Structure 1
Amino acid sequence: MVEKAGLRERKKQRTRQALTEAAIRLFEDRGYDQVTVAEIADAAEVSPRTFFLHFQTKEDVLLANADVRVDLALEVIAEHRAGERLPDVLVRVTDQMIFNAWDHDLPSGLAALRARLAASEPSLQARLLQRYLTAQAELAPALQRAFPDDLDTTMASALVGAMVGAVGAAALTALRRGDGPDEVRDAMRQAMALVARSVT
């Protein structure tokens, strides 16, 4: 039974990957507004119904790994070591988010495409903002529970907002500048280090 579940999960991941890669190609070739969900599904050789089993909207294809990043951050926070300092946990959270979940987004061009489209597509801007707010709502309580002596609810929310904002802004700036994957990762880590230094 475990083997079947593993097989199903791998198939699901392959389908998501195929949809994401098809969307990237189509958006790059024809422009975001000119591409429909049906065309993305067709290019990935699946049905539109299958598309909607994996993504709610066309915008969500561009945010394919956002939930993975949040889950990784929540794991790091929940499993922090006894006596580990808050700034060190924040740095580890960022490392996990960057080096695990961004491994596909940066080399595939998804991150760069998302950055370009975020500057011009109102629907994607709205979805990105919604995703940021959702991530903050999940991460702040987890961080406050992990460090109740250091953070109250307000300060946990402020810290997560600073972290998400700084890392996201650094990534977008580096991507728009045309930096490669390694430079984008470095920019994100430097932004997180700046936030971590502000935590006493």
Structure 2
Amino acid sequence: MTSHRERKRERTRQAIIDAAANLFERRGYEGTTIAEIADAAEIGTRTFFSYFASKEELLFPESDARIAAAVAAIEAREPADRPVDLLLQALQDVNETNTEMASPMARLRMRLTQSVPAVRGRALQEQLDAQLEIARHLQAAFPDELDAVQAAAMVGAFIGAVTGALQVLLAERDALTDPQRLQQRMQEATEMALRPFLDG
């Protein structure tokens, strides 16, 4: 059970994200300052920096949670589980706990990644960090089945499949009207992309 302080902190964090998304949509990413985001969220600039180190960081609010979900799925593995089963389970777990990957922020993030170099750089860094961290845990869990290179390739295929599916899904006009359906289609597309690992 979360404490009142934790709930208040989470509300403030979400208020910052929502304020930033609104300003980015109206004024553009580069035309929005951190001071303006803080003002819109009704906090001070110092408080902003206690939550996020930069504008780029707040565009990726769930990155750590997604890595944690993958690591948790690997750690909770059953004897019959294959490496790819755990990656797909982690994606399902993330989709069941929140709809961030099918949110207006996700669509905005995708658009900014394609048009703003600083955001593109941050997105690539987040993706690489996630790939290395998840691959390290996966290889450690299956040392007789995967070496470090194979684990990195499998996780790279997984992350690439999710990212590729999201790029197309979020560009659809009615993408955000049914987040659960979008997530289901992303899951199905990722499973199809990883079928060679499932059939192997």
TM-score by length of 1: 0.90
* Deviation of the 1:129 alpha carbon: 0.2
Counterpart CA distance in 2 for 1:93 and 1:26 is 32
Q: Which 4+ runs in 1 deviate beyond 3 A?
A: none
1:80 aligns with 2:77: yes
> Paired residue for 2:122, among 105, 118, 127?
127
1:21 aligns with 2:23: no
1:154 aligns with 2:154: no
Check the 8 A contact 2:56/2:118 in 1, yes or no: yes
Counterpart CA distance in 1 for 2:94 and 2:129 is 16
1:65 aligns with 2:62: yes
Letter of the 1:62 partner, please give it.
Answer: L
1:188 aligns with 2:186: yes
Residues 47 and 57 of structure 1: is their aligned pair in 2 closer, same or farther, counting only changes over 3 Å? same
Give 2:29's aligned residue: 32
* Deviation of the 1:105 alpha carbon: 4.7
Give 1:96's aligned residue: 93
Aligned alpha-carbon RMSD (Å)? 1.7
Counterpart CA distance in 1 for 2:38 and 2:127 is 27
Counterpart CA distance in 1 for 2:144 and 2:192 is 22
The C-alpha deviation readout for 1:134-166, integer Å capped at 9, x for no partner, is: 101110011111122221111001111111111
Counterpart CA distance in 1 for 2:84 and 2:63 is 23
Check the 8 A contact 1:77/1:143 in 2, yes or no: yes
> Paired residue for 1:167, among 158, 162, 166?
162
Aligned length: 195
Counterpart CA distance in 1 for 2:57 and 2:134 is 20
Counterpart CA distance in 1 for 2:91 and 2:101 is 15
Identity %: 40
Alignment gaps of 5+ in structure 1: none
Alignment gaps of 5+ in structure 2: none
Check the 8 A contact 1:77/1:142 in 2, yes or no: yes
The C-alpha deviation readout for 1:67-126, integer Å capped at 9, x for no partner, is: 11111111111111122223322220111233324x14524x111111111110100000
Check the 8 A contact 1:87/1:197 in 2, yes or no: no
Give 1:106's aligned residue: 102
Where 1:38 maps in the other structure, the secondary structure is: helix
* Deviation of the 1:183 alpha carbon: 4.2
1:7 aligns with 2:8: no
Check the 8 A contact 2:157/2:194 in 1, yes or no: no
Letter of the 1:197 partner, please give it.
Answer: R
Counterpart CA distance in 2 for 1:158 and 1:97 is 22
TM-score by length of 2: 0.90
